[in-house]
């Protein structure tokens, strides 16, 4: 993998943007072709390099779905292992679907996942590693009691909508709990099961959480969060259902009553499918808790994309950030300092391989003389970004980056900001991401540009552009397929298309 790294810090002052950038070349990674991280070749310009991608097919391989197995010590470089449940390939011939692992007492991993029985019904099965001393846990054995959760005429579970068990958690009564995604009619739901021994499971009379018209909940996760927002991760047990109807990953925050074994969403978090993790192409993610670094790590699926999806407005109450291991790919920081970008111009970031970049920047705004007033009727950031794009000039916006851009800007993926002034010294900051089909997506970023600046991190990897606005409060992942901006023909520009200059305070 060849890796070029850019560290950009954009500072808006006197109508100029100062650039600081770093630049690294990874010679030792140039020829590292592995199953997942192979170098994009002539016929595969869109193959990602530091985002895991399989050699061929969907990661959700439909032939039938299997549990492939790759291992990594840094979440960036992955080594392929044999298919995790190869030995059981016959039993799983009609497909092995999503599931989760729980670490049982004695450091014993237990894997719960969905498979199809001979009648093509969705059932849950349990497997344990055959050899706990094998660091890669290559071989797994099924328990004889499988399937351990299944639809019956009595339990009234829809056999075509019963899948993706969560990691289990134990309450003071000594019993394990696990959720399985499902739906009744159009009401998406998380079915609750309890067990003393992890093998025999009994369905609770109530569901943990469900609501009308949310569709099938795929890949739910249920986990505790630190109410003070201090800890990055908390060990197992709030819920994040995935909505199959819209292919968006959403979340809710609330309280879990341990005595009643019941979940109650907080005000503003009830029956709401617009609280998204990521406003782009991102679905069926799963989380795990990293006990060593005390972080919760989220791995999502950025499906190939060429179609348009609806987005919705919500301030980010959930913060996501690239794993710090990505920073290890950076070498020899190069800072491009004090590059001047006057209003209405752009500047190329020189000397980088623009197909593979990690950009970190911050716009600091100190004077807001020409800033536009925000109108109360602008409630739809999508519509607003779409109508204005990068071409309509505001007082001091738009400004941002043109990623995966061709030399003469016939094509590019823009990530940019628009800043408005509201009453009482408040600001509205809009982060916009136009698509190749000219539709633009936007979200309001919950930052005060005067005090905090406008931080933006963008990870570019051939056909993936991940934007983290407001230090991870707004995230947008997309798959883009430039036809001109490939290989050495890709460029990265910083632009400031605002009309007037911006002044810094002394
Ligand atoms: C797979 O599906 C076929 C066709 O429905 C069925 O005959 C077969 O028994 C299934 N195999 C298993 C192992 O479930
Ligand atoms: C069961 O789920 C399937 C798949 O989503 C759906 O087509 C079917 O209508 C559901 N059946 C009932 C009775 O809700
Ligand atoms: C949320 O949805 C559930 C189930 O669909 C329903 O019982 C409840 O009344 C709804 N609550 C609100 C506030 O809409
Ligand atoms: C949920 O859907 C059912 C059936 O469509 C409807 O009767 C009920 O009023 C809905 N509940 C809420 C809270 O919207
Ligand atoms: C994945 O992408 C393909 C091709 O664009 C599309 O047909 C499919 O519906 C997508 N699946 C999901 C889950 O978004
Ligand atoms: C830059 C970026 O990531 N833009 C994406 C934001 O989300 C929409 C919706 O999926 C994508 O189409 C954009 O490409």
pLDDT in tens, the chain (506 residues): 222 333 332 332 233 333 333 333 333 333 223 333 444 455 677 888 888 887 766 676 666 777 888 888 888 888 888 888 755 666 667 788 899 999 999 999 999 999 988 898 999 999 999 999 999 999 888 999 999 999 998 999 999 999 999 999 998 899 999 999 999 999 999 999 999 999 999 999 999 999 888 889 999 988 877 666 665 555 554 333 444 566 778 788 888 888 899 988 888 788 877 777 777 777 788 888 888 888 888 888 877 654 333 333 334 357 788 888 888 877 655 566 655 567 778 888 887 778 888 888 777 665 666 777 877 777 676 677 777 777 777 766 788 889 999 999 999 988 888 888 777 667 777 787 655 444 445 566 666 666 666 778 899 999 999 988 877 877 888 888 899 998 889 999 988 877 544 322 22
How far is it, in rounded angstroms, from Cα 26 to Cα 486?
19
Domain-embedded: residue 94: yes
Query: Is 24 inside any structural domain?
Result: no
Ligand 3 pocket residue status of 187, Cβ below 6 Å: yes
User: Is residue 441 located within the same domain as residue 375?
Assistant: yes
Domain co-membership, 164 together with 252: yes
User: Are 368 and 267 members of one domain?
Assistant: no
Residues 134 and 171 in one domain: yes
Q: 359 and 333 in contact (C-beta within 8 Å)?
A: no
In a shared domain, residues 89 and 238: yes
Best substitution site from 476, 481, 485 to test ligand 6's pocket, by max atoms within 8 Å of Cβ? 476
Please answer whether residues 187 and 210 qualify as being in contact, where contact means their C-beta atoms are separated by less than 8 angstroms. Answer: yes
In a domain, 405, yes or no: yes
Whether residues 296 and 332 share a domain: the answer is no
Q: Are residues 191 and 239 in the same domain?
A: yes
DSSP track, 153-173: TTTT--TTSEE-----EE-TT
Instruction: Decide: 212 in ligand 3 pocket, CB within 6 A.
Output: yes
Residue 78 in domain = yes
230 lies in a domain? yes
Closest listed residue to residue 241, CA positions, set 280, 275, 202: 275
Q: Does residue 54 sit within a domain? A: no
Same domain? 355 vs 494 = yes
Distance CA 113, CA 289 (A): 18
Alpha carbon distance 19, 470 (integer Å): 18
How far, in Å, CA of 39 to CA of 26, rounded?
A: 13
Residue 309 CB less than 6 A away from ligand 6: yes
User: Is residue 450 included in any domain, yes or no?
Assistant: yes
What gap in Å lies between CA 429 and CA 381, rounded to an integer? Answer: 10
31 in a domain, yes or no? no
Number of compact structural domains in the chain: 2
Radius of gyration of the chain (CA): 24
Residues with Cβ within 6 A of ligand 1? 91, 93-94, 117-118, 120
Kindly state the DSSP code that residue 245 receives in the 8-state scheme.
T
Whether residues 89 and 230 fall in one domain:
yes
**96 and 132 assigned to the same domain:** yes
Ligand 6 neighbour 478 (Cβ under 6 A): yes
The protein residue with its alpha carbon nearest to ligand 6, atom 1, reads 433
- Single residue among 265, 284, 301 that ends a domain in this structure: 301
Closest CA to 400 of 435, 431, 357: 431
| Residue to substitute in 93, 116, 123, 147 for testing ligand 1 pocket (most ligand atoms within 8 angstroms of CB) | 93
Q: What is the extent of the structural domain holding 390?
A: 327-503
Ligand in nearest proximity to the CA of 183: 2
Q: What is the CATH number of the domain that holds 435?
A: 2.60.120.560
Ramachandran angles phi, psi of 416, nearest 5°: -150, 165
Which residue, 475, 471, 478, 433, is CA-closest to 452? 471
C-alpha distances in Å from residue 463, one per residue of 35, 325, 379? 18, 20, 31
Q: In angstroms, rounded to a whole number, what is the distance separating the alpha carbons of residues 477 and 281?
A: 5
Residues 391 and 278 in one domain: no
Task: Output the ligand 2 site: residues, CB below 6 A.
Answer: 158, 160-161, 185, 216
Asked whether 366 and 505 are in contact (CB, 8 A), the reply is yes
Token pair for residue 172?
Answer: 């003071």
| Contact status, residue 457 vs residue 360, Cβ threshold 8 Å | yes
Could you tell me the distance, in angstroms and rounded to a whole number, from the CA of residue 31 to the centre of ligand 2?
49
Q: Ligand 1 pocket check: which of 94, 119, 125 to mutate, most ligand atoms within 8 Å of Cβ?
A: 94
């Amino acid at each position: 993998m060849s890796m070029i790294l850019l560290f950009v810090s954009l500072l808006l002052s006197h109508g100029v943007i100062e650039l600081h950038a770093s630049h690294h070349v990874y010679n030792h990674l140039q020829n590292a072709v592995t199953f997942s991280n192979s170098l994009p070749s002539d016929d595969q310009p869109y193959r990602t390099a530091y985002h895991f991608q399989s050699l061929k097919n969907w990661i959700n391989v439909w032939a039938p779905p299997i549990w492939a197995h790759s291992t990594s010590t840094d979440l960036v470089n992955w080594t392929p292992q044999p298919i995790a449940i190869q030995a059981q390939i016959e039993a799983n011939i009609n497909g092995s679907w999503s599931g989760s692992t729980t670490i049982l007492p004695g450091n014993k991993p237990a894997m719960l996942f969905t498979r199809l029985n001979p009648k093509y019904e969705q059932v849950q099965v349990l497997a344990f590693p055959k050899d706990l001393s094998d660091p890669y846990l290559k071989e797994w054995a099924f328990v004889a009691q499988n399937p351990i959760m299944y639809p019956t005429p009595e339990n009234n579970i829809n056999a075509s909508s019963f899948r993706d068990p969560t990691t289990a958690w134990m309450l003071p009564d000594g019993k394990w709990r696990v959720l399985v995604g499902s739906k009744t009619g159009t009401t998406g739901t998380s079915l609750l099961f309890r067990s003393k021994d992890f093998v025999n499971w009994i369905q609770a009379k109530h569901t943990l959480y469900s609501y009308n018209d949310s569709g099938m909940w795929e890949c739910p996760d249920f986990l505790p969060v630190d109410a003070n927002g201090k800890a990055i991760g908390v060990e197992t047990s709030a819920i994040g259902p995935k909505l199959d109807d819209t292919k968006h990953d959403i979340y809710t925050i609330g309280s879990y009553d341990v005595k009643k074994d019941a979940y109650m969403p907080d005000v503003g978090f009830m029956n709401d499918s617009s609280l998204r993790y990521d406003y782009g192409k991102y679905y069926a993610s799963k989380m795990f808790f990293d006990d060593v670094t005390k972080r919760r790590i989220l791995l999502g699926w950025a499906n190939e994309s060429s179609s348009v999806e609806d987005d919705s407005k919500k301030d980010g109450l959930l913060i996501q950030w690239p794993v710090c291991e990505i920073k290890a790919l950076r070498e020899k920081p190069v800072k491009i300092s004090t590059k001047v970008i006057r209003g209405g111009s752009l500047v190329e970031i020189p000397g980088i391989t623009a197909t593979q970049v990690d950009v970190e920047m911050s716009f600091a705004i100190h004077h807001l003389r020409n800033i536009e007033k925000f109108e109360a009727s602008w409630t739809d950031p999508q519509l607003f970004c779409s109508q204005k794009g990068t071409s309509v000039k505001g007082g001091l916006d738009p400004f941002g980056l043109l990623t995966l851009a061709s030399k003469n800007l016939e094509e590019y993926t823009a990530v940019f900001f628009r800043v408005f002034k509201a009453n009482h010294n408040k600001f509205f900051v809009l982060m916009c991401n136009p698509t190749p089909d000219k539709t633009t997506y936007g979200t309001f970023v919950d930052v005060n540009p005067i005090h905090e600046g406008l931080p933006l991190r963008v990870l570019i990897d051939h056909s993936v552009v991940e934007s983290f606005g407001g230090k991870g409060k707004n995230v947008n992942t997309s798959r883009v397929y430039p036809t001109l901006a490939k290989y050495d023909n890709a460029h990265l520009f910083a632009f400031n298309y605002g009309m007037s200059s911006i002044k810094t305070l002394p």
